[in-house]
Amino acid sequence: MSHPHPELGAPPALKEGALRITPLGGLGEIGRNMTVLEYGDRILIIDCGVLFPEDEQPGVDLILPDFSYIRDRLDKVDGIVLTHGHEDHIGAVPFLLRENPDIPLIGSKLTLALIEAKLAEHRIRPYVLEVKEGERERIGPFDCEFIAVNHSIPDALAVAVRTPAGMVVATGDFKMDQLPLDGRLTDLPTFAKLAEEGMDLLLVDSTNAEVPGFIPHERDISAALRNVFANADKRIIVASFASHVHRIQQVLDAAHEYKRKVAFVGRSMVRNMGIARDLGYLKVPGNMVVDVKQLDDLPDKEVVLICTGSQGEPMAALSRMANRDHQIRIVEGDTVVLASSLIPGNENAVYRVINGLTRWGAKVVHKGNAKVHVSGHASAGELLYFFNICKPRNLMPVHGEWRHLRAAAELGIATGVPRNRVVIAEDGVCVDLEKGVARIVGKVQAGYVYVDGSSVGDITEASLKDRKILGEEGFISVFVAVDSTNGKIVGGPTIQARGSGIDDNAFGPVVAKLQEGLDRSASDGVLEPRQVQQLVRRTIGKWVADNYRRRPMILPVVVEV
């Protein structure tokens, strides 16, 4: 089993006849999926998604893949294949197309409709190529065959990419639900045919590789939802991903059965469900869907709200309801259903929302106390079947944290993939497929790129560290005016603390120490403002640490007069 090494250097030039696979996101994390394939001087990209920030990334809206590896070669990109319409696979497309709007997008009808709506907000009109399962398209030197897979969103596709160097199969996100709501099964016969032809490298969804057995059927949720509807006397509020069409279909069916009206809340939810409805992927009985403004005219027992915020996102509708910062006010007796999984890293945010909702009297139904969610990713039992069907010559687990990648690797080895043909990589690691063997050859830059408001890439790790210090320890500002000729203090020091828990009046003892230090510095001829700032920072910082065991940010302002 090959694996990355922290001392990997830059990869060598790509050999003639070899295929290079470089994940720029999605390995060691759940999200930000993006894989770059290179043959000759041409490039094919599979997916281009975002990662959602965690608590230790305050102020960040989204996290993008780092495009620097391909930035000066975007004219060589023959297309971006989008496996399905979830944000962690399409969310970064607008940011890449800002740099080159001429890159074609290839995907299924629903996937392209979702990304085109998103791009319209960025005023980008992309070149698109709609494909369906069973079709093959030549995209530059890449011969792409598209295969139906079952996931938690309709129209998901895997892709088999044939090149002179061999065949690479990328599953995208998939599971093997044998009773899917739309009747669209993961196409195992086609995977078996690809295996007969020879699957040189399999990039496989690893998210649930640690989960034993088989994932329950999506339709199994219906009974739990009907139970919720049967026992709810007031409003029902369902939080889900804005693209989870199958889950929302089941909510609509239950609402129809119990004679309730439904309103979508949240811009992305309204947009995506409108698209799904127009394209026929979402079946809405009669005149059941109403505008949220009409809800005031209806009795609570006839109302269902479907909104975003199942992951505790601070600006999503459900979080704002929990914080009393939304036009919809949670009241005693409301029922809230979190119809989704907990993405790793979001647990604290979700439980914070659950507590907020409960505080106002809502009954909260979630995966922990009712069967209102099933995963969209194949578990260990399904992966074993899949590996036995595909018989890959080389295996590279993707889409997962380290524990998921290693679990998927061990499952592959158990089904007969040679251990030395299993590649566990990480973001930025280059894997070359040459003469039937996949091996790691180097590493390129693939760090986090933060989106903060309209800023893209301006926020650094150092900026986030400063934000965390400010949030946890506060700051202390120190104003000092010094004579530019002799360095003597002519004003201040004036000290103010914010968020540090230290009263401004408590700084009396350190002012004398600071004045003494500044006088000594002046007598030694140290007059440079930067050096004076360092002296102020050291003196105040040590005094606070010794007396309060805290480390606030010290902001010295030295003015020469």
Q: Does 108 show up as a binding residue in the annotation?
A: no
Q: Does 246 show up as a binding residue in the annotation?
A: no
Residue-wise DSSP of 138-157: EETTEEEEEEE-B-SSTT-E
Cα separation, 503 vs 553, whole angstroms: 15
Q: Does 404 show up as a binding residue in the annotation?
A: no
Q: Does 143 show up as a binding residue in the annotation?
A: no
Q: Does 233 show up as a binding residue in the annotation?
A: no
Q: Does 89 show up as a binding residue in the annotation?
A: yes
Cα separation, 373 vs 218, whole angstroms: 8
Name the residue among 438, 560, 423, 539 with its Cα closest to residue 490. 560
Burial 525-552 (b: 16+ CB within 10 A, else e): eebeeeebbebbbebbbebbeeeeeeeb
Q: Does 399 show up as a binding residue in the annotation?
A: yes
Sheet of strand 105-107: strand arrangement: 128-130, 105-107, 77-81, 42-46, 34-39, 19-25, 429-434, 437-443
Pairing of strands 166-170, 201-205: parallel
Q: Does 244 show up as a binding residue in the annotation?
A: yes
- C-alpha dihedral, 534 to 535 to 537 to 541, nearest 10°: 140
On whether the CB atoms of residues 432 and 441 are closer than 8 A, the answer is yes
Q: Does 84 show up as a binding residue in the annotation?
A: yes
Kindly give the residue spans of alpha helices, DSSP state H, lying in 198-316.
Answer: 221-231, 245-257, 267-278
Angle of the 221-231 helix axis to the 245-257 helix axis, nearest 10? 40
On whether the CB atoms of residues 393 and 203 are closer than 8 A, the answer is no
- Any idea which residues carry the catalytic annotation? 205, 377
- C-alpha dihedral, 35 to 391 to 441 to 460, nearest 10°: 30
Q: Does 151 show up as a binding residue in the annotation?
A: yes
Residue with tokens 């069907």: 389
Q: State whether residue 123 is helix, strand or coil.
A: coil
Q: Does 366 show up as a binding residue in the annotation?
A: no
Q: Does 242 show up as a binding residue in the annotation?
A: yes
On whether the CB atoms of residues 50 and 92 are closer than 8 A, the answer is yes
Q: Does 88 show up as a binding residue in the annotation?
A: yes
Q: Does 256 show up as a binding residue in the annotation?
A: no
Cα separation, 500 vs 435, whole angstroms: 61
Binding annotation: 59, 61, 84, 86, 88-89, 151, 173, 242-244, 373-377, 399, 452
Binding annotation for substrate: 242-244, 373-377
Binding annotation for Ca(2+): 59, 61, 452
